[in-house]
Amino acid sequence: MIDLTGKTGVVFGVANKRSIAWGIAQSLAAAGMRLAFTYQGERLRENVAELAATLPGSLLFPCDVTSEAEIAAVFAGLERELGALALLVHSIGYAERADLEGSFTATSRAGFLTAHEISAYSLVGLARAAAPLLEKSGPGSVIAMTYYGSEKVAPNYNVMGVAKASLEASVRYLAADLGPRGIRVNAISAGPVNTLAARGIKGFTGMLQHAAEKAPLRRNVTLKEIGDTAAFLASPLASGITGEVIYVDCGYHIMAV
């Protein structure tokens, strides 16, 4: 059993009970970690607050990751309430629906910049703000969420695939930059999961079925499997792992056809 008792973490990206971020939070909490959560806008506050309330000792902060002021306010609050952090979970991704359909060459300049700012640059901004608190905890860990569409062309993933490629490169550069401070940075590349966000991708149901048929394990990954991998990466068991993309996709990425 992984024991994270006495450690604290912050999770960015919970939207509802089917979110990958929530699956990760459940595994971390089951291992004993005390968690803080963020939400963007009042529309999501109620959902996140209701879920957070099921985990004793949880904290809640508003945060729009495009706002440096809001990022600073979150980490000031975390320092005030927790003193230090052992873990930062980045499970954030966004692209305009119009840029996820049709031809990639039709991607707008504004849409390209938006996808990269929210899906990739936000990891850099959050890691920078979290670093002093992660350093205080001793060995700290940062975990980001990515997808195989960063490496291979996935239908209707378009600009998000390019943004995820940027995210994965950022993981490597952050790992090199923060490693001397005892902070590890890794990404989990999860197979398709039936989340609310994923349903916004045209043809997602077909992608889900195809992955289950072609993956060596002949099924789709579960939220618990993704969450348990995050708990492992946050634990001393993964103390020698940084700058990596860990695939949790039932082996789908190894298949050529």
List residues with catalytic annotation.
Answer: 147, 157
CA distance 14 to 91: 8
CA distance 74 to 70: 6
The residue whose two tokens read 């991607």 is 107
CA distance 38 to 13: 7
Question: Which strands make up the sheet holding 140-146, listed edge to edge?
Answer: 59-62, 34-39, 8-12, 87-90, 140-146, 183-190, 245-248
CA distance 167 to 145: 9
The answer to whether 35 and 28 are in contact (CB under 8 A) is yes
- What's phi and psi for 247, nearest 5 deg? -85, 125
The answer to whether 183 and 135 are in contact (CB under 8 A) is yes
Tokens representing 255? 């298949």
3-state DSSP assignment of residue 192: coil
CB half-sphere exposure, 19, CA atoms < 13 A: 25
User: How many residues are given for the chain?
Assistant: 257
Tokens representing 57? 């000792």
- What's phi and psi for 145, nearest 5 deg? -105, 135
DSSP string, 24-43: HHHHHHHTT-EEEEEESSHH
The answer to whether 199 and 227 are in contact (CB under 8 A) is no
